[in-house]
Amino acid sequence: MKGGIVVTNEHVVRGCAHHEIEARSPLGETIQFKSLATDPGRDLALLRPAKTLSGGLDLGQDVNPPLGTPVTTWGFPLIYNGPPPILSVGYVAGYTAVPSGGTIVRHIVVNGAFNPGNSGGPLFMANDNKVVGVVVWKQRLLSQLVPTVIGGLKNPKASLTGTFSFTMPDGTVRPVSNEQAVALVLEEFYDTVQVVIGEAIAVSELKAFIAAQSQF
C-alpha cells in the first residue's frame, strides 16, 4: 500500500519473525523486512520493508459495494508461481460478520475463483484501483464425507484391508472399500464444482488495524 507497508493475512506469516520472511517483487527483486505487526482476530499482518518501497495501492472508502458488483484480485492461486501475479474475477455475493476473539470482523462474500495462494491479495471493485478488502479464504462447500475419506485412505490399516468405515451425511456408519470411497468423493466434487465462494476482510478492518499500530 502507499507508504511502503506490505499487507497480507496473519495466517500467511504465522509462526515467523520478520527476519525470517522475504518477498519477491514482480521484477524479481528480493524484499526483506525490519518489523512485523499481526492481528490474529482480523487475520491481518503488516510488514515494513527494510528499504522504502515506492508506489503502492490506496485504500478505498469504507463502503459496501452493492450486491452483484464485479470485483477483482491479483495473486498467486494454487500452484502458480509467477513471477507476476494473475487476475481473478468475481462479484459481491453478500456480507458476513465473523465472530473472532470477542469481536466481530466484517467480511465481503465474493462469488469468484479465489483459491489457496490468493490469501492476502487486494480486492478491488472493477475498473477501480483502490483496495476495498483483503482476500482471506475460500469457503469449502463440501461435506464431512471428503475429509473423512481422505483421512481413512491415509490410515495404513485401511490400505492393508482395503476397507474402512465412516459416517455418512445421514448419520449412519457404513463400511466401504477404498474404491467406493474415492467414487463417493468424486461424485461430491462433481456436484459442487460450479460453486466457488470466497471472502475478503473489509477495508475498514484494515484501516482500524493500521490506526492501532502507533509504534509500528
Beta carbons within 10 angstroms of residue 147's beta carbon: 13
> Which candidate, 20, 6, 124, places its Cα nearest to that of 69?
124
Average pLDDT over residues 64-92: 87
Beta carbons within 10 angstroms of residue 44's beta carbon: 24
**Count of alpha carbons within 13 angstroms of residue 104, beta-carbon side:** 4
Residue 25: the pLDDT is 81
Residue 196: the pLDDT is 64
> Is pLDDT above 60 for 154?
yes
User: Over the range 6-41, which residues count as b (16 or more CB within 10 Å of their CB) and which as e?
Assistant: bbbbbbebeeeebeebeeeeeeeeeeebeebbbbeb
Q: Which three cell numbers stand for residue 152?
A: 481413512
Q: Which three cell numbers stand for residue 102?
A: 470477542
**What average pLDDT does the chain have?**
82
d(CA 94, CA 67): 6
Residue 160: the pLDDT is 46
d(CA 35, CA 144): 40
Average pLDDT over residues 176-188: 74
Please count the residues of the chain.
216
Taking the alpha carbons of 15, 41, 137, 210 in that order, is the dihedral positive or negative? negative
Residue 19: the pLDDT is 93
Class of residue 142 by CB neighbours under 10 A (exposed 0-12, middle 13-18, buried 19+) = middle
Angle formed by the axes of helices 178-192 and 145-154, nearest 10°: 150
> Is pLDDT above 50 for 157?
yes
